[in-house]
Structure 1
Amino acid sequence: MTVVNSSTSSAGRRPRGTDRQSRAGIAFVAGYVVLLIAFGILPTGYAVYFAFTDAGGTFSGFSNFITTAQDFRFMDAVGHVAVYLLFWLVSLVVFVVGLSLLLHRLSSGVASKSLRFFYYIPGALAGAASVLVWLFMLDPSVSPVSSLLSTLGFHTFGEVIAPGNLALLFTIIAFWTGAGGWIVVMYGALNNIPKDVMEAARIDGANAWQTAWRVQIPMLRKWIIYMVILAFAAGAQLFVEPQLLSLASVGVAGRDYSLNQLTYDFAFQMNNINGAAAVSVELLVVSVTVAGIFVARSGFFDAD
């Protein structure tokens, strides 16, 4: 007579609900994976192929990278993007974290909900639409803040968009468009800080500044790093703002201000697809390298 150990047999079977959840998870992720392959991995592989071949499809090594780097506009574009990234990332970290902390201090009242909504509104505008709004705002002849522009010494549109002002202008446009969404994200992260941690800080006599600096900001570290990584990748691909500004200013702002503009020029003005692909691959390598450094040095995936 065979005796079946019921505990052993039941342990060998997976609960029916677990299988259902696994299938649902796979189905949920599958759509993203398909899109990632179709619009991410395959185009990247295609760009890498063009970057290392010539117009005839023959392997050319690093010749496309050397040719584009020797272009007289390349280093200027690198410098423009570097200055913009410095302004953009510093303003994003300082003001997003600061505004999120202030918003969190307002608790869950009407003021807090209203501010969260107003912060998010600019993010609803597409990149091109937001730039067009700012083109209107920056033209002293039609701007509703023309008196402020005049006070600052700007009387014509050309004076406002002088080359020395572009990095700051693009930072303001990018912050206005993208900071609201990150403020909402940081606000949500602040709400996830355990209440007993905040209560312990209050009992220990920490004031608002000490609580923010020693408790809240350290617990936001991973979210801040995540924001910086994505903002760096997006900022390195600066294109819409300088391109539309170049068209609106009839060349006052050059069409080769950023590396992405230079890539566009290589591809569609000079018919040099291989050179354009080389610059694109360089941007990809730089973004991935910077992300890897941030992740490795910050312990991003370490368990809390």
Structure 2
Amino acid sequence: MTALDTGAAQVAVPVQPVRQRPSRRRRTGWSGYLFVSGYTVLLVAFGIFPTLYAFFLALTNDRGQFTGLNQFVKVFGDYRFLPAFLNIGVYLVMWLASLIVLTVVVAVVLRSRMKPGLSAVFRFLYYVPGALAGVASVLVWLFMLDPAVSPASWLLESLGFDSFAAVLAPGDLPVIFVLIAFWTGAGGWIVVMYGALNNIPDEVLEAARMDGAGPWRSAWNVQIPMIRKWIAYMAILAFAAGTQLFVEPQLLQTASLGRVSPTWSPNQLAYVYAFQHGDFNGAAAISIFLLALGLLAAGLLVTRSDLFTVEES
């Protein structure tokens, strides 16, 4: 009860108890769990569970008996194992170097040295090849790399490639796969890097100009350091995708009638183990080697770039 002074008398007015509503933070928390629940279910079903099953296969034989590290020793001793990982290593070095350097440079040019309308047109054109499926992009490049039918046959012949077999020389395969990967994947990352550059406050760039920094010095000393986490994120995903190279060498191997090795990449070697030899345990061991390689590289990039460090505002 509370008393109100009406001038003549005090009137007692009952006070209704105030109901406590759920806090906004609690509602937001449940909403967050709801949004991530779908992805979590898919991650467990198609990510974590298959990984655990691969570990089980890699540590057992075809009868389900525990064999320890025997499967890993077996595949490591295969004469095709080290060449396959060496091939993918050369490809990854070339792929990551070209991707990081060229996408960041192109994004900086589009953001700082080009009018917004023209920049939007170029971003769209860069992104278009990414709309093609992996198989379709490889088929396009098969057409482009054959001097007999390619519209760029004059360029291929000037480089000394007078036949499709000459183009598919073993030493040239990493370059071909990098060209295919860059053509299909770089456009999307250019858009991502452009968006990251847009997050840099204009006041920061204006302060750099007032300090006498030109466009390229501003890019090197201000813009690129401020998007280093995005660059690390791109490198992690590109590395993970690069270790899984399969479609490109497999289609080239088929199109060249066996001129490309059917075990050029580790994924191809795992495919041969599983579906030609019926050795799923050995294939699982190769997949674990690839998983360990990807986790090691991701761990190094995350720790070196402070990817998950929250900066105090």
- Normalising by structure 1, we get a TM-score of 0.94
CA–CA separation in structure 2 for the residues paired with 1:107 and 1:29: 38
Pairs within 5 Å for 1:45-56: 45-56=52-63
User: Given that residues 106 and 112 in structure 1 are in contact (C-alpha distance below 8 angstroms), is that contact kept between their aligned partners in structure 2?
Assistant: no
Pairs within 5 Å for 1:155-194: 155-194=162-201
> Are residues 1:242 and 2:249 paired?
yes
CA–CA separation in structure 1 for the residues paired with 2:22 and 2:227: 37
Q: 2:86 corresponds to which residue? A: 79
State the AA in 2 paired with 1:238. L
Pairs within 5 Å for 1:104-253: 104-107=111-114, 109-253=116-260
1:239-291 Cα distance to aligned partner (Å, 9 max, x none): 11100000000100111000000000000111110000000011011101111
CA–CA separation in structure 2 for the residues paired with 1:33 and 1:163: 42
The structural deviation recorded for 1:220 is: 1.1
1:58-107 Cα distance to aligned partner (Å, 9 max, x none): 11000000000111111110110000001000001110111111111245
Q: 1:296 corresponds to which residue? A: 303
CA–CA separation in structure 2 for the residues paired with 1:227 and 1:32: 21
1:103-162 Cα distance to aligned partner (Å, 9 max, x none): 112455321111010111111111111111100100011111111111111110000111
Gaps in structure 2 of 5+ consecutive residues: 2-14
Bigger Rg over Cα: 2
CA–CA separation in structure 1 for the residues paired with 2:178 and 2:256: 18
Name the SS of the counterpart of 1:114 in structure 2: helix
Q: 1:267 corresponds to which residue? A: 274
CA–CA separation in structure 2 for the residues paired with 1:198 and 1:256: 50
CA–CA separation in structure 2 for the residues paired with 1:36 and 1:282: 20
CA–CA separation in structure 1 for the residues paired with 2:284 and 2:233: 27
The structural deviation recorded for 1:25 is: 2.2
State the AA in 1 paired with 2:107. S
Name the SS of the counterpart of 2:135 in structure 1: helix
CA–CA separation in structure 1 for the residues paired with 2:291 and 2:284: 10
Name the SS of the counterpart of 2:148 in structure 1: coil
- Normalising by structure 2, we get a TM-score of 0.91
The structural deviation recorded for 1:13 is: 5.2
Name the SS of the counterpart of 1:256 in structure 2: coil
CA–CA separation in structure 2 for the residues paired with 1:13 and 1:193: 39
CA–CA separation in structure 2 for the residues paired with 1:142 and 1:194: 50
CA–CA separation in structure 1 for the residues paired with 2:275 and 2:220: 49
1:207-249 Cα distance to aligned partner (Å, 9 max, x none): 0111000000100100111111111111011111100000000
Q: 1:255 corresponds to which residue? A: 262
Q: Larger % of helix: which?
A: 1
State the AA in 1 paired with 2:256. S
User: Given that residues 51 and 277 in structure 1 are in contact (C-alpha distance below 8 angstroms), is that contact kept between their aligned partners in structure 2?
Assistant: yes
